[in-house]
Amino acid sequence: MKRFEMRVDPLTSEIYYAVRLRGHTLLQDPLLNKGHAFTSMERAEFRLNGLLPEAIGTLEDQLTRSYGNFSDKKTDMERYVTLIGLLDRNETAFYSLLLNHLEEMLPIVYTPTVGQACLKLSHIIRRYRGIYVTPSNVDNIEQVLSNIGLPNISLIVATDGERILGLGDLGVDGMGIPVGKIALYVAAAGIHPAATLPVCIDVGTNNERLLNDPLYIGVKQKRLTGEDYYAVIERFIQGVKRIFPRALLQWEDFGKHHAMTLLERYHERILSFNDDIQGTGATAAAALMTAFRIKNRPMGEERIAIHGFGQAGSGVANAIVTMLVEEGGIPLEAARKQIYAIDINGLLIEGDKAEPYQANFFQPRQAISSWPISKDRSPKLDEVVKHAKITTLIGLSGQGGAFDNNILNQMAQNCERPVILALSNPTSCCEVTPQAALDATQGRALVATGSPFKPVMHRDGREIHISQCNNLYLFPGMGLGAIVCQATRISHKMFHSASKAISAMVTDEQRRHGYLLPPLNNIREVSFHVALAIARQAREERLGLNFPDEKLAGLIRAAMWQPHYYPYRYTAEL
């Protein structure tokens, strides 16, 4: 049974919540709790008199108190627990606080701190959020989904916990990732928290530490594999389509042997995407669009190396190919040959054993036949940079310091404005620091990173901003746009449209100061423009509402929830 419903008074046009909870039950519901900000009338109507202090407070009072509590904490883990505690008590206050201090709190509610929280989630969890799908309950998935008691779900973020950030298999403790991701959807794009659902598909874990931990809260067995695994996923998808047929599903932190398969198997059947693959690619492509605009030379002259060619690397490569084809007018196969894919054993060349998603990016053996290197192995990163004359270098390897001075000096010789994207997280895994990249290139490099870095003061007196290639630029607006325009599926062109929208927001003045992406403190406006680009592209591909731009923009603005307290009216039935 639903706990509440948003309604509009037909006489006054006032938006209010029709709520069926009262007393302590209402105060314990984080979606509905206002703390001591319930009005006198609401306290009487909802049987709250005497359950709250006499003073009637405001949201602003609560934010001041909560920020003080947050600031008093000494470690990031303490700050994480403080923020999650607020989320568990009062979601409106949590999202208002997060939105007011997004740049400060983003590393706490998501990477890198959320990863540390996931390592010990079974030991620190206070309140269970979302749903847990297991082999023992998946046959009753429709009932499980109905148990959440919310009016409607528009957004689902699901993980199976197998590849949590760079930490590996964390089983059910990976639930911290969907919870954190949804917090960013709400804060950055204004998707109403009551329309969101974090999901952990708990099929066991191969992590011996967890299996031997008496406090571990997940299924204590080895992971399901093969058809048994896919049977659980299939039954889950069937339930989602029946109970929430128009919901968007984001696949999050699945193992590489499942992620691409799930994306390909279900992207036509259910509105879905994989942020680790597609979101990373589109965000990197947005940064490259800006960099190439600054360089002001034909895209066909770029020679691009991607160091670390797993799922994220292939996602970046495919996004770049789309950009080269759509913006540079370069034929598809020629665009692919501009990309040099470097995996753990070196450059991928024809005849190598590789994953299916890597196969499009083999370099012909003829292309490297003239290189003065040993022919009994694949070329290494430094050899590729030198002999292919790489002009854009992208790191997704997780190898801290992989871009050494030898490689950076060669990049400085290859072109006037080399592009260096060191995208691995956390900071310790970053392939190069911005300071080192700029020093080695005499301040000429165009740099972005996966982790946050402070601006660099170059020796010529310039302050150079370092953009963080954070998927936050992409996925909230993608979700908002797809939901509002009622898209039937997510297409490759939608991601390209999103990249263009993000890059277009970087002003001339910002580009002069090193920005390759717009400032994160403007994230709601970024999400709006991404959402509008998605809705337009869906319209063009006949995958969404056929409305003019002005109407689509109005719908998106109206859908962006602002965290504040709505008036409540009691109703016995919903």
- Residue positions annotated with a catalytic role: 110, 181
Between CA 450 and CA 462, with CA 456 as vertex, the angle to 5 degrees is 135
Q: CA–CA separation, 255 vs 2, rounded Å?
A: 35
How many C-alpha atoms does 517 have within 13 Å on its Cβ side?
33
Element spanning 446, H or E: strand 446-449
Neighbours of 115 (CB within 10 A): 20
Q: Which residues pair with 196 in a beta bridge?
A: 155
Q: CA–CA separation, 316 vs 253, rounded Å?
A: 16
The strand pair at 339-343 and 272-274 is best described as: unpaired
Q: Are 271 and 246 in contact (CB under 8 A)?
A: yes
The strand pair at 568-570 and 15-19 is best described as: parallel
Whole-number Cα distances in Å, 95 to 83, 184, 340, 552: 10, 9, 42, 25
Q: For residue 452, give both structure tokens.
A: 């946050």
DSSP calls for 442-491: TT--EEEESS--PPEE-TTS-EE--EE--GGGTHHHHHHHHHHTT-SS--
Q: CA–CA separation, 275 vs 293, rounded Å?
A: 25
Q: Are 545 and 537 in contact (CB under 8 A)?
A: no
